[in-house]
Amino acid sequence: MSEFSPKIIVFVCNWCTYTAADLAGTSRLPYPPEVRLVRLMCTGMIDTKYILKAFLDGADGVFVGGCHPGDCHYIDGNLKAEKRITGLQQMVKNFGIDENRLKLEWIGASEGPEFQKHMTDFVAQIKVLGPGQTKDRMIL
Amino acid sequence: MTAYVIKGNDKNPVQAVKELFSKLLENQVDYIFLPGKSPYSKLPMPMLISDTAHMENLEPLAPAAPFNSAKQAASVLKSNTNKKIAFLLKPCEKRALVELVKLSQCSIENALIITADCLGRMENSTYLGLIEDAPGLIEAFLQDKSFQDKITSSCSVCTQFTDSGSDIHVNLIGCSGSAVFVPQTENGEAVFKKFECDRADIPTARENEVEQITKKHTENMETLSDNVLSKTKDVEKFQELIATCLNCYNCRTACPVCYCKECVFLTDIFNHMPETLLNRADKKGIIKLPTDTTMFHMTRLAHMSHACVGCGHCSSVCPSNIPVADIFKIVSKNTQDFFGYIPGENTDEKIPYLNYKKEN
């Protein structure tokens, strides 16, 4: 049997982490192909239902990347995201979804190598955790 | 702490509460808001009264409520009318109202909030069945343990059946059939300066009885917790629990703290185009319609579990008898413990999701 290849959704903000991903690309820094980037203007616009939708539709992990505190283009969107995501980590635990499947990190626009490292580490972490619960299951 | 009883009316708590509100309406407030029956049904609904002639319709302390009246209270408080209104709320209704204040849905500046010890509420059908044969049910309920066993599951695990943040709290538990009024704010204290009433002591038996009920309800909560946890431990188990959901969204409508004017589940985001549904069916091979049932329940838990006041109305209105409130009780306890947040405690405490400014 082939190795488990997780499906990972990565929400990135337009101003920092997406730029970092861009930098990683132009710097030719390879990172695992399992990640699927979704670009948003700010992590503060991530409603918890986006993440739940990803989990229920078969994502094995969800990663959120935003600006460092103080660097947010919209002043404090990243801090709002931080509150929501820590709350959601507690919420999904109730349904047997490991809180480590949801991760929030601050990755600045110039941090291409950091982006590469976070992606590699997160994919490795999800591979250890194994497949999520929702794959091949009817979701009501 | 000073406490008061109504002169000459210290034996019937229902009459005592009515008399307090009657006196308030005579010369201290413009309107009173408390449960009452209509000529058409004995089910108590919130009534807004401007004239003491209608006092006989009132049913304060009735162990029934068709919904959490916080939303109705907010509807008369959502803009400034410069009118003073006195409210009689159950503790869970007062907590929900405080949450609505924090969410900028209303202001309680001109409101006089009066809460009463709550021994729980019955489901509407239970209450209507019983009151048909026993007209004195409301008074009897406060004394008779066999009636008190008929309360809803959410009420039987509630440990916040008294209140310490309202203007006046009506002590009933351990007061041997009388109502002892305890002012808890300056506004509450001022009420008793304006009419004649007797000073009283809070009966010593009260503390012990409150403790006993708390203990019993905590034990019930532990049993419920074990029961629910085994049914939600993974997504599959959770889906078994909600499999009969019709997507009617009654639970969301009944929820006093679900305050969005337009719920996202009623917008076009979830009003899928045929192509979307066909695509999904293609991808999975089979999908259930209507879609997004698990999504709905989980989203509501993610959005509102921090603010859940535990009133249990979501379960009461469910046509499929899904124990929505039991799930909410357990999940919200975890969320609230995590944030160290007690919803409805006071208006100064910030909602955890809005309390994000980093300290420098």
Cis peptide leading into residue B91 (ω within 30°):
no
CB distance B115 to B91 below 8 Å:
yes
- The DSSP symbol for B285 reads S
- Residue B217's φ and ψ, nearest 5 degrees, are -70, -35
- Side-chain half-sphere exposure of B150, counting CA atoms within 13 A: 19
Of B235, B295, B305, the CB nearest to A91: B305
User: How is B155-170 classified by DSSP, letter by letter?
Assistant: HHT----S-SSSSEEE
Identify the residue among B231, B306, B356, B359 best suited for mutation to test binding to A, counting A beta carbons within 10 A and taking the highest. Answer: B356
Q: Which residues pair with A40 in a beta bridge?
A: A13
pLDDT at B139: 87
Is B236 within 8 Å of chain A by CB? yes
Identify the residue among A85, A88, A94, A99 best suited for mutation to test binding to B, counting B beta carbons within 10 A and taking the highest. Answer: A94
Tell the burial category of A64 from Cβ atoms under 10 Å away from its Cβ (0-12, 13-18, 19+).
buried
Q: In the structure encoding, which two tokens stand for residue B71, read together?
A: 């939303």
Q: What percent of chain B has pLDDT over 90?
A: 76
pLDDT at B358: 66
Residue B45 backbone zone (phi > 0: left; psi -120 to 50: alpha; other: beta): beta
How far is the CA of B142 from the CAs of B69, B116, B171, B202, in angstroms? 21, 12, 12, 17
Q: Is residue A18 pLDDT above 50, yes or no?
A: yes
- ipTM of model: 0.94
Per-residue model confidence as pLDDT tens digits over B223-256: 999 988 888 889 999 999 999 999 999 999 999 9
Q: Is residue B301 pLDDT above 80, yes or no?
A: yes
Average pLDDT over residues B48-63: 92
- The single-letter code of the amino acid at A77 is G
> For residue A104, which of A130, A124, A78 has the smallest C-alpha distance?
A78
pLDDT at A135: 80
Least confident of A60-74, B99-113, B183-197, B235-249: B183-197
Q: Which residues pair with B32 in a beta bridge?
A: B49, B86
The span from the CA of A128 to the CA of A122, in Å, is 10
> For residue A52, which of B102, B293, B334 has the smallest C-alpha distance?
B293
Q: Is residue B7 pLDDT above 80, yes or no?
A: no
**Cβ contact B352–A87 (<8 Å):** yes
Is B268 within 8 Å of chain A by CB? no
Is A68 within 8 Å of chain B by CB? no
pLDDT at B360: 44
Count of CB pairs separated by less than 8 Å, A with B: 89
Q: What is the pTM of this model?
A: 0.94
Q: Give every CB contact of residue B109 below 8 A, 6+ residues apart in sequence.
A: B80
CB distance B46 to B33 below 8 Å:
yes
A91 min Cα distance to partner chain B (Å): 6
**Cβ contact A140–B298 (<8 Å):** no
Q: Which residues pair with B180 in a beta bridge?
A: B171
The span from the CA of B294 to the CA of B122, in Å, is 29
B24 min Cα distance to partner chain A (Å): 43
Residue of chain B with shortest Cα separation from A55:
B295
**Cβ contact B339–A87 (<8 Å):** yes
Chain B residue numbers with beta carbons less than 8 Å from the beta carbon of A91 are 298, 301-302, 305, 331, 334-335
**Cβ contact B235–A83 (<8 Å):** no
**Residue located via tokens 């985001």:** B269
Q: Give every CB contact of residue B40 below 8 A, 6+ residues apart in sequence.
A: none
Q: Is residue B359 pLDDT above 60, yes or no?
A: no
Chain B residue numbers with beta carbons less than 8 Å from the beta carbon of A90 are 334-335, 338
Dihedral angle sign, alpha carbons of residues B329, B96, B94, B325: negative
The span from the CA of A42 to the CA of A110, in Å, is 17
Q: Is residue A1 pLDDT above 70, yes or no?
A: no
CB distance B9 to B46 below 8 Å:
no
Chain A residue numbers with beta carbons less than 8 Å from the beta carbon of B322 are none
Question: Which band of pLDDT confidence, cut at 50, 70 and 90, is reported for residue A137?
Answer: confident
Q: Name the strand (E) or helix (H) holding B212.
A: helix B205-232
Per-residue model confidence as pLDDT tens digits over B86-99: 999 999 999 999 99
Chain A residue numbers with beta carbons less than 8 Å from the beta carbon of B306 are 87
Is A129 within 8 Å of chain B by CB? no
Per-residue model confidence as pLDDT tens digits over B321-354: 999 999 999 999 999 999 999 999 889 999 999 8
Is A139 within 8 Å of chain B by CB? yes
Q: Is residue B317 pLDDT above 80, yes or no?
A: yes
CB distance B318 to B123 below 8 Å:
no
pLDDT at B299: 96
Q: Name the strand (E) or helix (H) holding B254.
A: helix B250-254
The span from the CA of B312 to the CA of A47, in Å, is 26
What's the mean per-residue pLDDT of chain B? Answer: 92
Question: Which band of pLDDT confidence, cut at 50, 70 and 90, is reported for residue B10?
Answer: low
User: How is B86-142 classified by DSSP, letter by letter?
Assistant: EEEE-HHHHHHHHHHHHTTS---TTEEEEEE-----B-HHHHHHHHHH-TTHHHHHH
Q: What percent of chain B has pLDDT over 70?
A: 98
Per-residue model confidence as pLDDT tens digits over A119-134: 999 999 999 999 998 8
Those of residues 125-144 in B touching chain A at CB distance below 8 A are: none
- The single-letter code of the amino acid at B208 is N
The span from the CA of B48 to the CA of B27, in Å, is 16
A59 min Cα distance to partner chain B (Å): 13
Is B339 within 8 Å of chain A by CB? yes
The span from the CA of B213 to the CA of B148, in Å, is 11
